[in-house]
């Protein structure tokens, strides 16, 4: 088609309420019941050979009912992963040659399927598999994932439109090529939207992707892959390759065709991937682009002028929604003593009143943590806090692992601002609070900036404008997403582009123009319209 088309103007997908009596609630409840009653599924991803009898299978269970088996995932061997890489690399030329509108239409259709006929399916799979309440599933698996797809198509189009200047006698153009090779997308358990975004963002720019999901997110990952296929994604563009990260990486990171890594997960794993790329650097055909969003130790700073009611809401929602398993979750708070004295009773009452239970009961505020490993890490952190002379559990503190892995939202007040509660990412419903004398506002800012290696999200709560300005200025490098009088979670695509720096990642801002730019290797083309025919320059006369 010879035309310069305009892609549909993207708008953020509305978040539905699921209030009693709504049609979306009835549809969701029917889907939850159907999935829960179904026999366990056997998932093999897109690497067909991994269904072989010798494959290792891992169980996917409901975090809030851990004996409930949802399915089993075949773990790819190193040779399965190699086969998947060969498969996508064989498809790369055809995919890159397909015109942009045809590629874009597939992802726009996938977004409409997610927001329309597959909404209940993707929400129910995310709720059952990842332990999300409906509110948390809806803002993630539906709203944010549809937003990523629609906005990324628009950003890609914007990039294509950036063209160099042409001068008399020459026409200059930029050709936005995909990277030469494949992109390795490694995705976390906690967001269906991120798991969907990491393989598709490079694909929208014309790349092929090897997608290694987290086993605990596999149910929703598979529903999304099925949606992409229904939307028309050709086989071999995105290969869903479940497996142990280290095993799949043994194939992906030594392959000379590795052209990029799109990672979200822990800082430790990201650093391992980067180190391996460094070791193999002379071996690749092109320098791999490395994009990673990783851990956080996200803070809330409460100034003496803060509105007490707003502080309670920001702390409770910021720390305990999805049981604190968001990279952006507030896990350390610095509260002025005068404010703490006003809020502590209400904060404790609200926190202890949060209902925690099975995701199928829509009345709960939150549910279980993702797996046994997370449960053991969090329960032992709580035991350590109970035993510490500098810490006091002021709310929560209870843990039970039957029928699921439950940790009650817990607040620890600590008088040691350098203790583990302020430096370690526990990734759960555990908030550590340091109550500072009002007169130490100035030094507490330095404390926040220097205590943790991360710089993902942070918030300042204050009504005094000078205090807001001071915190915003002095904490400039301490968070990639900074909030004023709000909780530090809940970034929305195209409103608060998301990502952090320092140990929290490369800050390429998922779902943004900047991220999409990483998946193209522009070629500059100069065409001389009237090529010169003499060799001599005037000064030679």
Q: Under the criterion CB under 6 A, does residue 209 sit at the interface with ligand NAD?
A: no
Q: Is 416 helix (H, G, I), strand (E, B) or coil?
A: coil
Q: Under the criterion CB under 6 A, does residue 187 sit at the interface with ligand NAD?
A: yes
Q: Is 491 helix (H, G, I), strand (E, B) or coil?
A: coil
**Residue pair 445/479 in contact by the 8 Å Cβ criterion:** no
- Least spacing, CB of residue 144 vs ligand NAD, in Å: 11
Q: Is 183 helix (H, G, I), strand (E, B) or coil?
A: strand
- Least spacing, CB of residue 267 vs ligand NAD, in Å: 6
Comparing CB distances to ligand NAD, the nearer of 43 and 191 is 191
Q: Of 29-37, 175-183, 467-475, 497-505, which part binds ligand NAD (CB under 6 A)?
A: 497-505
Positions in 43-102 near ligand NAD (CB under 6 A)? none
Q: Is 384 a catalytic residue?
A: no
> How many Å is the Cα radius of gyration of the chain?
25
Comparing CB distances to ligand NAD, the nearer of 16 and 319 is 319
Beta bridge partner(s), residue 52: none
Neighbours of 493 (CB within 10 A): 26
**Residue pair 159/521 in contact by the 8 Å Cβ criterion:** no
Q: Is 293 a catalytic residue?
A: yes
Q: Of 72-80, 207-215, 307-315, 380-388, which part binds ligand NAD (CB under 6 A)?
A: 207-215
Positions in 211-240 near ligand NAD (CB under 6 A)? 212-214
Q: Under the criterion CB under 6 A, does residue 293 sit at the interface with ligand NAD?
A: yes
- Least spacing, CB of residue 479 vs ligand NAD, in Å: 11
Neighbours of 85 (CB within 10 A): 24
Comparing CB distances to ligand NAD, the nearer of 273 and 395 is 273
265, 288, 318, 409: residue in contact with ligand NAD (rule CB under 6 A): 265
Phi, psi of 361 (to 5 degrees): -90, 105
Q: Under the criterion CB under 6 A, does residue 490 sit at the interface with ligand NAD?
A: no
Q: Is 240 helix (H, G, I), strand (E, B) or coil?
A: strand
- Least spacing, CB of residue 272 vs ligand NAD, in Å: 5
d(CA 60, CA 220): 11
Comparing CB distances to ligand NAD, the nearer of 31 and 217 is 217
Phi, psi of 415 (to 5 degrees): -95, 0
d(CA 271, CA 196): 22
Q: Which one of the listed residues 13, 138, 144, 293 is annotated catalytic?
A: 293
Positions in 301-340 near ligand NAD (CB under 6 A)? 327
Q: Which one of the listed residues 138, 144, 327, 425 is annotated catalytic?
A: 327
Closest-by-Cβ residue to ligand NAD is: 245
Query: Which of 157, 62, 39 is CA-nearest to residue 105?
Result: 157
Number of alpha carbons in the 13 Å side-chain half-sphere of residue 36: 20
Number of residues that bind ligand NAD (CB under 6 A): 31
- Least spacing, CB of residue 249 vs ligand NAD, in Å: 4
Q: Under the criterion CB under 6 A, does residue 288 sit at the interface with ligand NAD?
A: no
Comparing CB distances to ligand NAD, the nearer of 87 and 504 is 504
Q: Is 493 helix (H, G, I), strand (E, B) or coil?
A: coil
Residue spans of beta strands (DSSP E) within 384-474:
391-395, 399-400, 406-407, 410-414, 430-436, 454-455, 457-461
- Least spacing, CB of residue 189 vs ligand NAD, in Å: 4
**Residue pair 445/470 in contact by the 8 Å Cβ criterion:** yes
Number of alpha carbons in the 13 Å side-chain half-sphere of residue 110: 35
Comparing CB distances to ligand NAD, the nearer of 339 and 431 is 431
Q: Of 22-30, 260-268, 299-307, 441-449, which part binds ligand NAD (CB under 6 A)?
A: 260-268
Positions in 442-481 near ligand NAD (CB under 6 A)? 456
- Burial label for 307, CB within 10 Å (0-12, 13-18, 19+), is middle
- Burial label for 54, CB within 10 Å (0-12, 13-18, 19+), is exposed
427, 436, 482, 519: residue in contact with ligand NAD (rule CB under 6 A): 427
End-to-end C-alpha distance for the chain, whole angstroms: 51
- Burial label for 24, CB within 10 Å (0-12, 13-18, 19+), is middle
Residues catalogued as catalytic: 293, 327
Residues in contact with ligand NAD by the rule CB under 6 A: 186-191, 194, 212-214, 245-246, 249, 264-266, 269, 272-273, 293-296, 327, 425, 427, 456, 498, 500, 504-505
């Amino acid at each position: 088609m010879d035309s310069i088309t305009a892609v549909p103007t993207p708008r953020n997908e509305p978040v539905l309420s699921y209030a009693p009596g709504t049609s979306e609630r009835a549809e969701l409840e029917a889907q939850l019941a159907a999935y829960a009653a179904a026999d366990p599924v056997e998932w093999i991803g897109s690497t067909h050979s991994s269904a072989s009898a010798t494959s290792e299978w891992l169980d996917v269970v409901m975090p809030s009912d851990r004996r409930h088996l949802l399915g089993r995932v075949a773990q790819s061997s190193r040779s399965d992963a190699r086969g998947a890489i060969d498969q996508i690399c064989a498809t790369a030329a055809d995919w890159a040659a397909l015109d942009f509108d045809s590629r874009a239409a597939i992802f726009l259709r996938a977004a409409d399927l997610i927001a329309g006929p597959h909404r209940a399916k993707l929400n129910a799979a995310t709720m059952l598999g990842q332990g999300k309440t409906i509110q948390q599933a809806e803002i993630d698996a539906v709203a944010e994932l549809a937003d990523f797809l629609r906005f990324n198509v628009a950003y890609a189009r914007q990039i294509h439109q950036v063209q160099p200047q042409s001068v008399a006698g020459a026409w200059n153009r930029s050709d936005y090529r995909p990277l030469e090779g494949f992109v390795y997308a490694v995705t976390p358990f906690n967001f269906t939207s991120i798991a969907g975004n990491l393989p598709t963002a490079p694909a929208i720019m014309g790349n092929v992707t090897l997608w290694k999901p987290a086993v605990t997110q596999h149910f929703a990952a598979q529903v999304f892959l099925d949606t992409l296929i229904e939307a028309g994604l050709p086989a071999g563009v995105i290969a869903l390759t479940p497996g142990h990260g280290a095993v799949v990486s043994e194939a992906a990171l030594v392959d000379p065709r590795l052209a990029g890594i799109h990672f979200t997960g822990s800082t430790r794993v990201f650093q391992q991937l980067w180190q391996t790329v460094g070791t193999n650097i002379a071996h690749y055909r092109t320098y791999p682009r490395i994009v990673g969003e990783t851990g956080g130790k996200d803070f809330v700073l409460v100034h003496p002028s803060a509105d007490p009611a707003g502080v309670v809401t920001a702390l409770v929602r910021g720390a305990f929604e999805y049981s604190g398993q968001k990279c952006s979750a507030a896990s350390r708070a610095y509260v002025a003593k005068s404010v703490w004295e006003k809020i502590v009773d209400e904060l404790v009452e609200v926190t202890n009143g949060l209902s925690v239970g099975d995701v199928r009961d829509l009345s709960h505020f939150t549910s279980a943590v993702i797996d046994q490993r997370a449960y053991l890490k969090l329960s032992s952190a709580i035991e350590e806090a109970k035993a510490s002379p500098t810490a006091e559990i002021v709310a929560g503190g209870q843990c039970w692992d039957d029928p699921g892995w439950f940790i009650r939202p817990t607040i620890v007040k600590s008088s040691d601002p350098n203790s583990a509660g302020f430096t370690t990412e526990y990734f759960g419903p555990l908030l550590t609070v340091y109550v500072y004398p009002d007169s130490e506002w100035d030094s507490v800012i330095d404390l926040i900036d220097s205590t943790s290696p991360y710089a993902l999200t942070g918030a300042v709560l204050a009504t005094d404008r000078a205090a807001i300005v001071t915190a915003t200025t002095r904490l400039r490098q301490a968070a990639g997403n900074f909030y004023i009088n709000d909780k530090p979670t809940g970034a929305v695509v195209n409103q608060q582009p998301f990502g952090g720096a320092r140990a929290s990642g490369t800050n390429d801002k998922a779902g943004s123009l900047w991220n999409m730019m990483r998946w193209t290797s522009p070629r500059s083309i100069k065409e001389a319209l009237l090529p010169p025919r003499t060799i001599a320059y005037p000064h030679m006369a």
